[in-house]
Amino acid sequence: MEAVQDLPPGTAPGLRTKSQLQRRRRILQAAAALASRGGVEAMQMRTVAERAGVALGTLYRYFPSKMDLVVAVVGEELDMLESSIARRPPAALTPDGRAVDVLMRATRGLMREPELADALIRALILADVELPFGDRMAGLLLRVAGLSEAAADEEQAVLAASLGAVWVQELLEMLRGRRTYEDIQRRIEIAASRLLADFPA
């Protein structure tokens, strides 16, 4: 449930050799592939290890718990979202419009692999991890709202984080089958228009 990436494979440092980087990549890829089939259940540690071609013990050396593995997979998804946004930035004219744009783009991305999304979101919420979804998503929202993270005052940071929280909950409701894409859009728009109302255009 915890365990900080200390020595072995911190996202950046700690990987000495090329083969270790490749092992890590293979593991993440196997994990994502399995999860996008049957969700967390299908993503069994033994299966991941087998499919990645490493021993179970090695898998646990790279990712001390299943949660750590899930978190790493999510990290990759977020990387993809961020680069997608860099490539094609939200075009809306208001800060809240841009925020909604980004959130709905993320929603569509996650909807494409519902099992994966379900597994990832839930795991994230559970994780004791530092800087999981919340913070990264809030930072992203601040940026698309037009503020560098450094320039935001506390109130703005709180509001951006709040919008992130609302989105996460809506996503969860969607995964439970209680929201459609359109529901989410409407609800996020309502919340965003209030929360980001007085952000500088």
How far apart are the C-alpha atoms of 94 and 189, rounded to whole Å? 12
CA distances, 183 to each of 31, 116, 120, 179, 186 (Å) = 31, 21, 21, 6, 5
Q: Any contact of residue 44 with a copy of itself (CB under 8 A)?
A: no
Question: Could you say which of 126, 151, 180, 181 contacts a copy of itself (CB under 8 A)?
Answer: 126
Question: What is the Cα–Cα distance from 113 to 141, expressed in whole angstroms?
Answer: 23
Residue type, position 162, single letter:
S
Sign of the torsion angle spanned by Cα atoms 51, 106, 168, 38: negative
3 binds a copy of itself per the rule CB under 8 A: no
Structure tokens at 19: 């083969």
- 182 interacts with a copy of itself by CB under 8 A: no
Say which entry of DNA, a copy of itself, none residue 176 contacts (CB below 5 to 8 A, set by partner kind): a copy of itself
Tell me which residues touch DNA (CB under 7 A).
1, 7-8, 16-17, 19-20, 23, 41, 43-46, 53-58, 60-62, 64-67
Tokens, residue 142? 């601040």
Residue 94, binding choice from DNA, a copy of itself, none, Cβ under 5 to 8 Å by partner class: none
Q: Which span sits near a copy of itself by CB under 8 A: 15-23, 61-69, 96-104, 183-191?
A: 183-191
Q: By CB under 8 A, how many residues form the interface with a copy of itself?
A: 26
Binding partner of residue 105 among DNA, a copy of itself, none, CB under 5 to 8 Å per kind?
Answer: none
The least distance separating a copy of itself from the CB of residue 69, rounded to whole angstroms, comes to: 17
Terminal C-alpha separation, the chain: 41
Residue 89 contacts residue 144 (beta carbons within 8 Å): yes
> What is the spatial distance between Cα 101 and Cα 67, in angstroms, rounded to a whole number?
29
Residues written for the chain: 201
- Write out the two tokens for 164: 């992130």
SS3 91: coil
- Residue 61 or 187 with smaller CB distance to DNA: 61
To the nearest whole angstrom, how small is the minimum distance from the Cβ of residue 118 to DNA? 15
Q: What are the residues binding a copy of itself (CB under 8 A)?
A: 122, 125-126, 128, 134, 155, 158-159, 161-162, 164-166, 168-170, 172-173, 176, 186-187, 190-191, 194-195, 197
